Each structure stands twice: as C-alpha cells, then as structure tokens.
C-alpha cells in the first residue's frame, strides 16, 4: 500500500469513514471535525465534532455530497457542549437505514461527565432524513459502533472502550439481545477504537486499530463465529512513519 493523496472529501475536515453499499452505490458516512469554538473550554488541538455527513458514488471517482444527516443538536441525550459525535456506522434492514453513532451523554447532577453512549437514528433512505432515538442503546458504554448482520439475519454490534466488545441486537435494531462481552484473545493493551467486522466464505474477520509500538496500525483477527473466539492473524497496514495516529477504516465489497 502506497501513498493516497487524492481525498474524495475536499471541502471540510472529515474522519472515520464508514463505507456501505446500498442500492448499487457506495456510501461513505463520515464524522466532521471543525475548529473548536472559542469560549467553550474546548482543547483547540482535540477532536471537535458536532455532526455527520454522507457521500455517495457509483464509480468511486465522482462523489455526491448529500449534506449533513445528523447534528448533536438533534439528539436529546447528547451533551452538546462536548462536540463528541465520533465514528459512526450505518446499516440497512427491511428497507430502513439505521445510523449508529457515539457521543457524550448529558451528565447527571454531581457527575464530572456523562460518559459515552451509542445512539441510533433511523431513515427511509441512506441520505436521510434521520430521526434519532430519544435515548442511547441501554447497556452500552463505548465508542465507534460497527454493526454486522449475519446470513441468518442476526445482527451484532461491535464497539470500543479500552477493549473490543460485541453484543447481539434485537430484530428492531434498537436494543441489545445479549449482554455485551469483551472479545477474548485480542491484545491486552493498545485497543482504543474502530472495530470493523465482515464475513467471507464462512470466516469472520475482525479488523481493528492497535497500538503495538508508538502509533496505531491496522490488524485483523479471524473466527468461526461472529462473537468469537478470535485469533489474531496479521497486519493489514503498518503504523505510519508520519506519526499519524488513527487507522479508523471500513471494508466492503463493491
């Protein structure tokens, strides 16, 4: 893998691409980094993300910007003072599009902060409009959701919080159908973000950023079951000599 210096998004700062194929088009759902507003106590060098955008293409050369699909101000449970709309994902089931996103929750009285929850917004098309659920998914505390639907129709959600977690989703795609469990046999340290699972020829590939040395590299593990146990299998993309941190990614067939 060589240098990639041909960004498809040129008019804003974006990150965390979740690529999905819907109706014969490639869609990329991205987070959106903005300059930290002054006077709000935010770190100027840190992530400042208040909304999400979606882009699509048929030929992967010409891209359409469908605009903002969800803002932190549209979600009742999000603490909009934290600008914490981080890495999202989107998946289709039965003609509905389910957009999953992490954000800091409104803190309870006396608490220092609310902690990260994962919410769901629903639409009738990939471009939206999306309507957010009034509450985050109960039982999840973490970031960077990835949702996978197996061939038998069972949906799973993967997310990060120091480790990689997995849980089954109910048919409504809005609630857990099992307790989250930490995925075994992964590295004990350096697991920060960005899991992505896909299936190929009966094997399940869990791809993930991992800090082995100084910065992240993209690695993968293999299992016979979506919930594991997984076995670490190799490195897809080594850490960058530039010192760039994130290898947040997505993998699809198109």
Q: Nearest 5°: CA angle at 57, between 54 and 61?
A: 120
User: Which residue numbers are catalytic?
Assistant: 16, 193
Question: How far, in Å, CA of 5 to CA of 159, rounded?
Answer: 29
Closest by CA to 84, choosing from 45, 58, 50, is 50
- The Cα–Cα gap between 83 and 171 comes to 31
Nearest CA among 196, 205, 186, 93 for reference residue 144: 196
Pairing state of beta strands 25-33 and 49-57? antiparallel
């Amino acid at each position: 893998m060589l240098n990639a210096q041909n960004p498809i998004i040129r008019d804003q700062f974006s990150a965390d691409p979740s690529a999905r194929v819907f109706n014969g088009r490639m869609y990329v759902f991205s987070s959106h980094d903005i300059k930290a507003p002054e006077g709000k106590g935010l770190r100027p060098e840190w992530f400042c993300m208040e909304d999400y955008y979606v882009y699509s293409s048929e030929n992967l050369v010409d891209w359409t910007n469908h605009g903002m699909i969800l803002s932190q101000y549209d979600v009742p449970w999000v603490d909009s003072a934290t600008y914490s709309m981080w890495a999202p994902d989107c998946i289709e089931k039965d003609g509905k599009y389910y957009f999953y996103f992490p954000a800091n929750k409104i803190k309870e009285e006396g608490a220092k902060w609310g902690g990260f929850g994962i919410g769901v917004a629903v639409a009738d098309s990939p471009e939206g409009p999306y309507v957010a659920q009034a509450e985050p998914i109960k039982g999840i505390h973490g970031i960077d959701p990835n949702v996978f639907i197996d061939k038998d129709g069972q949906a799973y959600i993967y997310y990060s919080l120091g480790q990689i977690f997995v849980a089954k989703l109910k048919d409504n795609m809005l609630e857990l159908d099992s307790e989250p469990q930490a995925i075994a046999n992964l590295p004990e340290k350096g697991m920060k973000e960005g899991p992505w699972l896909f299936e190929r020829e009966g094997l399940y590939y869990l791809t993930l950023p991992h800090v082995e040395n100084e910065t992240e590299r993209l690695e993968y593990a293999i299992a016979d079951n979506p919930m594991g146990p997984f076995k670490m299998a190799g490195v897809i993309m080594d850490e960058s000599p530039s010192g760039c941190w994130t290898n947040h990614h997505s993998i699809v067939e198109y």
